[in-house]
Structure 1
Amino acid sequence: MKQMITSILFATDLSANSTHALRHAASIAQATGAEIHVLHVNQPISDDAKITMEMFILNEETRRTATERRHEMVRKILAERQANFWARFEGDDAKIRDQVTSIEVTDGHPAEVILRRSQEMGCDLIVLGAHDHGFSHTFLGTVAKRVLRRSKIPTLIVPHPTDDE
């Protein structure tokens, strides 16, 4: 008996390859009727960045506002990329966008958040793009490796597209 895919977590790092990975998530969602949850995880601000902010932004309220603006900028970029991606679809294919049931931007360590949110949302599949390919064309990226190694559900790592794709 086949396991049904009803809920897909698409994790994006906002790279060029993430659009390629979303194409695969959308195709699977269209074929299965699954809902798509889009997730972007901001890496925590490094201690060096925090010290720099404290040195140059003396007002605590201003520092907090700067951190909030970081989220706003990521949400804006994500919204623009989503709009551009879905604008290319026509007819019945355009209806796939209705299967996107949530778009979330949060802070944390990406692999841990991806794994936790996939479990909390009851997802059946995680889809994310491999990082840019290196010299050996096998470079997955740290986040993809960690998710793949620890995931308890099927995980699709979409390779970086070739130049002719």
Structure 2
Amino acid sequence: MKQTITHILCATDLSKHSAYTMCHAASIAASTGAKLHLVHAVQPLSDETRTALQMYMQTTGSSETAEKARHDHAKAIMAERQRAFWDHVSEEDKGIRAQVASIELIDGYPAEVILRRASELNCDLIVLGAHEHGFSHTFLGTVAKRVLRRSNIPTLVVPYRGTAAHN
């Protein structure tokens, strides 16, 4: 029996190398006709970081302003990475962009965000990149290991490819 892929969740860490992972997810979406959902998790600040922000930013609301600026910066990077990715896609493949159903920045721990959104969106496949240092860091990055360990749907881990970001 052939399993149909209708929704793909592609998790990005916003690194310059995440385009390689996106390329694989877009290729699978193109060949299956699946909707593509892009997600980036903005990891919560640690208690130590919050304390440091409060100590060094004495004015009321400064730490909240810093957190909002952090989130806005991640949103700007995601928009730039998307623009750069689609600028490098060949003309014949630009139609794949219409299959992008959502692009989200979500506050939370990456593995939990990825698994929760995949479930909420009824995804059939998760695509994420290996840790930037390849299959080191005990073979996979911590996020990839956590997703693989807990996912109940197929999960594709794309190895880090150095400068081959758009190939």
Flag whether TM exceeds 0.5 (same fold). yes
Per the TM alignment, residue 72 of structure 1 is displaced from its structure 2 partner at its CA by 0.7
The yes-or-no answer on 1:39 pairing with 2:18 is no
- Which residue does 1:13 correspond to in 2? 13
Question: Aligned equivalents of 1:123 and 1:138: distance in 2?
Answer: 27
CA root-mean-square deviation: 1.8
2:18 matches 1:29: no
Question: TM-score, structure 2 length as denominator?
Answer: 0.91
Q: 1:113 to 1:140 in 2, by over 3 A?
A: same
Contact 1:132–1:140 under 8 Å retained in 2: no
Q: Does 1:139 pair with 2:143?
A: no
- Other structure's SS at 2:51 match: helix
Residues 128 and 42 of structure 1, relative CA distance in 2, 3 Å threshold: same
How far apart in 1 are the matches of 2:99 and 2:135? Answer: 37
Does structure 1 conserve the Cα–Cα contact (< 8 Å) formed by 2:135 and 2:159?
Answer: no
1:162, 1:117 → 2: CA distance? 28
Question: Which TM-score applies when normalising by structure 1?
Answer: 0.93
How far residue 163 of structure 1 moved from its aligned partner, in angstroms, is 5.8
Q: Structure 1 counterpart of 2:90, which letter?
A: E
Task: Give the letter for the 1:42 counterpart.
Answer: V
Unaligned runs of 5+ in 1: none
* Structure 2 SS opposite 1:140: coil
Shift of 1:80: 0.4
The runs of 4+ residues in structure 1 deviating greater than 4 Å are: 134-138, 162-165
Alpha-carbon distance change, 135 to 103 in structure 1, aligned in 2, over 3 angstroms: closer
2:107 maps to which residue?
Answer: 107
Match of 2:116 in 1: 116
Instruction: Assess if the C-alpha contact under 8 Å between 1:40 and 1:106 holds in 2.
Output: yes
What's the counterpart of residue 96 of structure 2?
Answer: 96
- Give SS of 1:59's match: coil
| Residue identity opposite 1:3 in structure 2 | Q
> Following TM superposition, by how much is the alpha carbon of 1:52 offset from its aligned partner in structure 2, in angstroms?
0.8
| 8 A Cα contact 1:21 1:127, kept in partner | yes
- Summarize deviations over 1:28-65 as a string: whole Å, max 9, x none: 00000111111000111011110111011122322212
Alignment size in residue pairs:
165
Identity of aligned residues (%): 56
Give the distance between the partners of 1:105 and 1:99, measured in 2 at CA: 18
8 Å contact kept, 1:133–1:139: no
1:82-101 per-position Cα deviation (integer Å, ceiling 9, x unaligned): 00000112333001111111
- Which ranges in structure 2 are unaligned for 5 or more consecutive residues? none
The answer to whether the 8 A contact 1:7-1:34 is kept is yes
Deviates more, 1:103-112 or 1:60-69: 60-69
* Equivalent residues of 2:134, 2:159 under 8 A apart: no
What is the alpha-carbon distance in structure 2 between the residues aligned to residue 19 and residue 134 of structure 1?
15
AA matched with 2:39: L
